[in-house]
Structure 1
Amino acid sequence: MVVMVIGSNGQLGWELRRALAVLGPVTSLGRAELDLADADAIRATLREHAPALVVNAGAYTAVDRAESEPALAEAVNAVAPGVLAEECVRLGAALIHYSTDYVFDGTQRTPYVETDATRPLSVYGRTKLEGEQAVQAAGGAYVIFRTAWVYASRGRNFLLTMRRLSNERDELHVVDDQVGSPTWARLLAQATARIVRDSNLLETRDTGWLRERSGVYHLACAGQTSWCGFARAIVEQVPGARRVPVKPIATSDYPTPARRPAYSVLNCDKALRVFGIRLPSWDEALRQCAAAMAAGG
């Protein structure tokens, strides 16, 4: 049975390809193979391949640019997941989709659970929430994972940006009043592969196990830090980074087109309870990532 990974050239998609390949054939589609802004292309592609499982790691993730490109963000983040979900229902396939902590407004000071009120502050957060809602409205067998502050050793992300800047500047100034949980993409992919394995979907094409567990789940590394704290850990641990001072600044000192939640830590107890999965602390995950980078992985 075929697994289709959409967004396969992104930081999470690349890890998903590797993690899922041991379970069965994987059809990998990057932006060149499937434009998520084209709903007709989505329908045609799924009908051509007839996958047993669609794993959607594709998204419009340029948080600030989305403020000036809301129509494109809407098409990719909101409309496309709904089309994917509808086609999965039509094919009798399951869908795994990824969302974001930015669906929350950050006014809490305790970790968000899945049932907490969503109040996105940005176009990105709003369109990702609309994507969640579209998947749920289609029904079928689906799992939506909200995650946070995702990074990897490839792609575009905070870790690689800080590593680059540490070699260009004598000191870094990083926001210290936004708090969340940095999450290594490889751990998300491995957790996804474990759930797919446990579902027995690829051997039977029976979506019942996943259908019974369909819903929204939080899946991010444990613990919390600020962007400044994350940056300090990066320059200390990541191969290729230079150990430069990292100075804290306020969000107001670094204005951006899109507003970010001041606090977006996710409570992941539901994923542990239902799937038996809990990711390690963010600092342990970073150590693992740094070790993998040092080893060339």
Structure 2
Amino acid sequence: MKLALIGSNGMLARKVRELAPVGSELHGFDLPEFDLTDRAQVLAAMARLKPTVIINCAAFTNVDGCETQEDLATRVNGAGPGYLAEAAQAVGAVLVHISTDYVFAGDQTSPYREDDPTTPLSAYGRSKLTGEKAIAASGLARYFIVRTSWLYGPGGKNFVETMLRLAVERDELRVVADQFGSPTYTGDLAAAIFRLLALSSPAYGIYHLADLGECSWHGFAEAIVELARLHGEPVKALRVLPIATSDYPLPAPRPAYSVFNKEKYLAATGAALPHWRDSLESYFRERSQLKKGV
């Protein structure tokens, strides 16, 4: 596998590098040297490399920032993936593009399937949906659009690290309890992507990939603080209090419910991702090892 990894300095890309199959030839592309919004540069870089697989981990992921910078978000999250699809078509590569649960409005009460209507609430969600549509309209046949949710892992800003920082600084945490989704560990997502790429006769298209189970942000925060104590973190917070979304207004609206139906991936691969609680425990073990320099 000759792999072009776009957004190679990011949180998910770190695990993609780590879990790439033995013998893979991996080439990273990221800012400032590589600008995903520059069509000519994207096409030229992929034409020189001639990868067999392109994995796009690059995105403008500041959900609230997208509200005031929607033009930039649309260029990065919308136009850029279309350029990669064009490049993949030109060199005969498979494209893997990472998308989001925020393409959904969150007004369902049962897990979202890949073909359910997409009605994003935020600029971020709209920009990511634009990217999905650009790939689908490109003429490229061999692509995986991988929607995921509540992503966390080493080497990046994420909810887990934010809660850990606040739990050390504050006596109590107040966390939204009326938004529900599935936390997903970057290691699980990267492994699932390579499982898709290993299929001999894959059904290309959109896949929902997230760890099993569901919780609220409040429930996720409670689990984080509990595990932090068990792993010897200097936790100060004694309580994690549930609050309503209306009690914590943010610039960008979030879906109240964005749990995925993952039957398509299970049917294609015969594998399911781990439960989010098990993976959160794995992440804490990994953090401990990194601190010890193991």
TM range, normalised to the smaller chain? over 0.9
Q: Is the alpha carbon distance of 1:174 and 1:291 closer, same or farther for their aligned partners in structure 2, counting shifts above 3 Å?
A: same
Q: How many Å separate the matches in 2 of 1:23 and 1:251?
A: 47
Displacement of 1:295 in angstroms is 2.1
Counterpart of 1:282 in structure 2: which amino acid? W
Displacement of 1:75 in angstroms is 0.4
- 8 Å CA contact retained: 1:175, 1:226: yes
- Residue 286 of structure 1: aligned partner: 280
**Unaligned segments of structure 1, at least 5 residues:** 200-208
Displacement of 1:133 in angstroms is 1.0
Displacement of 1:96 in angstroms is 0.6
- 8 Å CA contact retained: 1:219, 1:271: yes
Q: Is the alpha carbon distance of 1:96 and 1:76 closer, same or farther for their aligned partners in structure 2, counting shifts above 3 Å?
A: same
**Partner of 1:295: helix, strand, or coil?**
helix
Q: Is the alpha carbon distance of 1:293 and 1:129 closer, same or farther for their aligned partners in structure 2, counting shifts above 3 Å?
A: same
**Partner of 1:288: helix, strand, or coil?**
helix
- 8 Å CA contact retained: 1:150, 1:182: yes
Displacement of 1:21 in angstroms is 5.2
- Residue 101 of structure 1: aligned partner: 101
Q: Is the alpha carbon distance of 1:80 and 1:259 closer, same or farther for their aligned partners in structure 2, counting shifts above 3 Å?
A: same
Matched, 1:247 2:241: yes
Matched, 1:125 2:115: no
Residue from 209, 213, 225 that aligns with 1:219: 209
- 8 Å CA contact retained: 1:85, 1:140: no
Displacement of 1:289 in angstroms is 1.2
The within-5 A match list for 1:247-286 is: 247-286=241-280
Displacement of 1:20 in angstroms is 1.1
1:21-71 Cα distance to aligned partner (Å, 9 max, x none): 524110012223312222222112111211111000111100000000011
**Partner of 1:115: helix, strand, or coil?**
coil
Q: How many Å separate the matches in 2 of 1:33 and 1:22?
A: 27
- 8 Å CA contact retained: 2:169, 2:236: no
Q: How many Å separate the matches in 1 of 2:181 and 2:126?
A: 18
- 8 Å CA contact retained: 1:271, 1:277: yes
Displacement of 1:243 in angstroms is 5.6
Q: How many Å separate the matches in 1 of 2:269 and 2:55?
A: 17
- 8 Å CA contact retained: 1:17, 1:28: no
Q: How many Å separate the matches in 2 of 1:185 and 1:218?
A: 14
- Return the TM-score normalized by structure 2: 0.94
Displacement of 1:132 in angstroms is 0.7
- Residue 92 of structure 2: aligned partner: 92
Q: How many Å separate the matches in 2 of 1:164 and 1:40?
A: 41
Q: How many Å separate the matches in 2 of 1:125 and 1:15?
A: 24
The within-5 A match list for 1:70-85 is: 70-85=70-85
**Partner of 2:170: helix, strand, or coil?**
coil
Q: How many Å separate the matches in 2 of 1:155 and 1:230?
A: 18
**Unaligned segments of structure 2, at least 5 residues:** none
Q: How many Å separate the matches in 2 of 1:164 and 1:121?
A: 29
- Return the TM-score normalized by structure 1: 0.93
**Partner of 1:216: helix, strand, or coil?**
strand
Q: Cα RMSD between the aligned structures?
A: 1.4
- 8 Å CA contact retained: 2:54, 2:93: yes
1:60-114 Cα distance to aligned partner (Å, 9 max, x none): 1000000000111000101000110011011111101111000000101110001
Q: How many Å separate the matches in 2 of 1:241 and 1:103?
A: 37
- 8 Å CA contact retained: 1:77, 1:131: yes
- 8 Å CA contact retained: 2:182, 2:210: yes
Q: Is the alpha carbon distance of 1:38 and 1:227 closer, same or farther for their aligned partners in structure 2, counting shifts above 3 Å?
A: same
- Residue 198 of structure 2: aligned partner: 197
Q: How many Å separate the matches in 2 of 1:241 and 1:42?
A: 45
Displacement of 1:5 in angstroms is 0.7
Displacement of 1:264 in angstroms is 0.3
- Residue 46 of structure 2: aligned partner: 46
- 8 Å CA contact retained: 2:170, 2:236: no
The number of residue pairs the alignment matches comes to: 286
- Residue 69 of structure 2: aligned partner: 69
- 8 Å CA contact retained: 1:15, 1:186: yes
**Partner of 1:167: helix, strand, or coil?**
helix
